[in-house]
Amino acid sequence: MTTLTIVIGGLLIGIVYACIALGFSVSMWACRVTNFAHGHFVLIGAYVAYTMLGLGLPIYSALPFAGLITGILGMVVYRFLVQPFAPSDAGLQIALTLGVAILLENLLALVFGPDPISAGSAWSAATTVVLGEVRLSVSRLIAGGAGIVIIWGTWWLFERNRWGMAIEAAGENVAGAELTGYAGRRVLMLGFGLSTLLAGLAGVLLLPVANVSPYDAVDYTLRSFVVVLVAGQGNLRAILLTGLLVGLLQSGGAYLASTDMATVACYVLLLVALWVRRVRSGVTALGVSER
């Protein structure tokens, strides 16, 4: 494996991480919900794709299906669990979504078994393309390309479409959004559905690229948290860049040391980012600054 192969492969998977993190960012900044089960929605997407492949359907048909299922499931979780019981308190939200996460994780393990699954040749029989020195997996190329389209679509939604703006506005101020004629709470539900939909789509893209097991979900949640925290609030370009960086760390670290050391590198990045943020925020005499 040449260095370039690893770098490009890492960047391509980084785009998918950016998609997942984008979803986490939408729920965290726009809907003000800390969704601990975010990674589990990624896995639901992957397992929907796996089931459809098992039924003999092509993998691209899994994209709309997985998106629909994860999106609707997310809206159900938001409408019937988060909104009535933990609308604003971060601790309660984490406890609640942790409950959802444990339920989903073990449901997946019960239905599909605890062992990892993969579908390396889901997109095409030829799994790699060779460009001179560089060997690239077809699945990664497609995952990266589709990821870019998804990110662009989300950018368009939030920057150019009034519904995306409504979601952001409702997160900031529900009453204000309602004054402008939007059903604020329903808009937030849509926003949360969008965040889980992004996770589900990324899950479909991930299945041909990585081994997926029901117990991986927390890694995806934490990884997207790293991206979101390093990138900061609502900055789409920074999310994409940090996603790429995490992808690089992950594949470079896995090549140089091992997968778990690569994950450790990711989390160390998180600690460094926190430390930098703490230094820059200028801690006051009370030990707290609001910005």
Partner 1 sequence: MSGRSTPGNDFAARSWPMAVLIAAFALLPHLAEGLFSGAIRQILTTAFVFGFVAFAWNILSGYLGYLSLGDHLYFGLSAYLCAYLLSTHGISPFLSVVPAALLAAALAWSLARLVAGLRFRGTIFALVTLAVAEIGRVVITRIPAFKGEAGIYLQLANDPGNFLFTNPLVYYYVALGLLGLGGVLSLGAFHSDWGLQLRALRDEEVAARSLGVRIDLRLSQAAALSAAAFAIAGAFYGMSAFFVTPSTVLTIDIIVTVLIVCVVGGLGRVWGPLYGTLIVAAVQIGLNKVGLSSTTAATWGHMIYGVIIIAAVATGAVLRLPDNAFARLRSALSRPSPR
The binding site for partner 1 (CB under 8 A) comprises: 28, 34, 36, 81, 84-86, 89-92, 94-96, 98-107, 109-110, 114, 218, 221-222, 225-226, 229, 260-261, 263-264, 267-268, 270-271, 274-275, 277-278, 281, 283, 286-291
Three-state DSSP at 251 gives helix
- Give least dist CB 70 to partner 1, A: 18
- Could you tell me if 124 and 138 are in contact, meaning their C-beta atoms sit under 8 angstroms apart? yes
By C-beta, is 133 or 290 nearer to partner 1? Answer: 290
Residue 130 burial (CB count, 10 A)? 9
Q: Which is nearer to partner 1, 102 or 131 (CB)?
A: 102
Give min distance, CB of 196 to partner 1, in A. Answer: 17
Cα 24 to Cα 27, 164, 189, 194, 267, distances in angstroms = 5, 15, 14, 10, 17
- Can you give the length of the chain in residues? 291
229: number of Cβ within 10 Å = 19
CB of 114 to partner 1, least distance (A): 8
Minimum gap (Å) between residue 64 Cβ and partner 1: 28
- The upper half-sphere exposure of residue 278, i.e. CA atoms within 13 Å in the direction of its Cβ, equals 8
Residue 179 or 271 having the CB closest to partner 1: 271
DSSP letters along 28-83, please?
A: IIIS----TTHHHHHHHHHHHHHHHHHTT--GGGHHHHHHHHHHHHHHHHIIIIIH
Considering the complex, state which of residue 94 and residue 236 has its C-beta at the smaller distance from partner 1.
94
Rg (CA), the chain: 19
- Tell me the closest approach of the beta carbon of residue 285 to partner 1, in angstroms: 9
Q: Which is nearer to partner 1, 129 or 271 (CB)?
A: 271
Closer to partner 1 by CB, 256 or 283: give it. 283
CB of 278 to partner 1, least distance (A): 6
